[in-house]
Amino acid sequence: MASDTHLAPNSCSCRSGFSRNARFFSVPGNTKTSWLKPLLQGLGRSGQFAGALLALALCAQSAPAGCAECISFPQSTSQGALVIGKVEPDSKVRYADRDLLVTPAGDVVFGIGRDEKGPVSVDVRRPDGRHVREEIAVTPRDWPIERVDGVPPKTVEPPPEIAERIRHEQARVVAARVRDDARADFMETFIWPVEGRISGRFGNQRIYNGIPKAPHSGMDIAVPQGTPIKAPAGGLVTFAAPDLYLPGGTVLIDHGHGVSSNFLHMSRIDVKVGDRVEQGQIIGAVGKTGRATGPHLHWGLNWFDVRLDPLLLTGIQSGQ
């Protein structure tokens, strides 16, 4: 587990390590006690008691009513990460030229692109009108080259009429990702949609049959044809098509606040657009439709049009 339990209050905001995996603030109705406990545990692990006590004293001083009075974002994150922060309810939050929805509990979410160098900043207008800017460092990652050979040539260099079809299909998928629903399904702890060997990682530079293509936009998990696919978190089905040219059988699930999952190369689809799905519900089955060399699930994660790494959500659960 990444040790991201830093605590460095600046002005009136309490900055604590809060990644999608840490989930310090996922318990509804936080009290000061429930908020301090994981911080003390985390800081205890890293042997920073003195700093912790000082920081907590400062934080408590500026946050008399507990975490509801705090602004909390991680000090650092990594490329491809989904970041969840905490603000006071009824705050106005802006990130990357976008106004973020804030849940009634004060949760906000945004994504860090694969090539984001950082630091990134989040602007918070508190309910009392005060403005706070949080800066978050972005840790760079290595993006190895991944060679995929034996791909059907017509899917690597499609003829013009096929290229037009691909553009049209991609536009339909892009349109499904613009929605910004107030649902907070993204706050669930994501589970793996299928469990198996990771056969392709997010962000790797892909070379198909010797021809460089766009970086890999998700995570590939190699499992047998027909393996049932579970919804990794609840959400709304916003796209479902059995036969797109490159992605094959495709489903999009919207988890709220711009966060969505996509599942590609499916052999069977059990849901339709407009369906509400719950975490763990079977949405279809693994296949090798579209540009695939064998049966596997491609799981993509997005914050609007920013592609993210699903492995950063599920790393702890899977033990990988």
Contact 74, 55 (CB under 8 A): no
CB of 73 to Zn ion, least distance (A): 30
Rounded to whole angstroms, the Cα distance separating 230 from 285 reads 9
Total residues binding Zn ion (CB under 5 A):
3
17-25, 27-35, 169-177, 215-223 -> range binding Zn ion (CB under 5 A): 215-223
Stretch that binds Zn ion, among 125-133, 164-172, 214-222, 307-315 (CB under 5 A): 214-222
Closer to Zn ion by Cβ: residue 6 or 298? 298
Q: Which residues of 136-153 are buried (b: 16+ CB within 10 A; e: fewer)?
A: bebeeeebeebebeebee
CB atoms within 10 A of CB 239: 18
C-alpha to C-alpha distance for 266 and 196, rounded to whole angstroms: 16
As measured in angstroms, the least distance from the Cβ of 206 to Zn ion is: 9
Which is nearer to Zn ion, 116 or 220 (by Cβ)?
A: 220
Stretch that binds Zn ion, among 105-113, 174-182, 244-252, 298-306 (CB under 5 A): 298-306
Least distance from Zn ion to the Cβ atom of residue 266, Å = 12
Footprint (CB under 5 A) of Zn ion, residues 51-110? none
Among 88, 185, 220, 309, binds Zn ion (CB under 5 A): 220
What the block records as the tokens of 163 is 């290229």
Neighbours of 134 (CB within 10 A): 22
Do 87 and 100 meet the contact criterion of CB atoms below 8 Å apart? no
- The least distance separating Zn ion from the CB of residue 207, rounded to whole angstroms, comes to 14
Task: Compute the least distance from the CB of residue 136 to Zn ion, in Å.
Answer: 28
Nearer to Zn ion, 66 or 200 (CB): 200
Cβ closest to Zn ion, residue 85 vs residue 193: 193
* Residue 309 binds Zn ion, judged by CB under 5 A: no
Q: Could you tell me if 14 and 7 are in contact, meaning their C-beta atoms sit under 8 angstroms apart?
A: yes
User: Which residue's CB is nearer to Zn ion, number 101 or number 222?
Assistant: 222
> Cβ-closest residue to Zn ion?
298
Over the window 127 to 166, marking each residue x when it contacts Zn ion by CB under 5 A and - when it does not, the resulting string is ----------------------------------------
* Complex with Zn ion: residue 126 or 298, whichever CB lies closer: 298
Stretch that binds Zn ion, among 8-16, 61-69, 218-226, 240-248 (CB under 5 A): 218-226
Which residue lies nearer to Zn ion by CB, 280 or 294?
A: 294
Q: Which is nearer to Zn ion, 220 or 309 (CB)?
A: 220
From 147-155, 198-206, 243-251, 301-309, span contacting Zn ion (CB under 5 A):
198-206
Q: Is 298 in the site for Zn ion (CB under 5 A)?
A: yes
Nearer to Zn ion, 230 or 296 (CB): 296
The two three-digit tokens of residue 115, written as one number: 């090539």
Q: What residue ranges bind Zn ion (CB under 5 A)?
A: 200, 220, 298
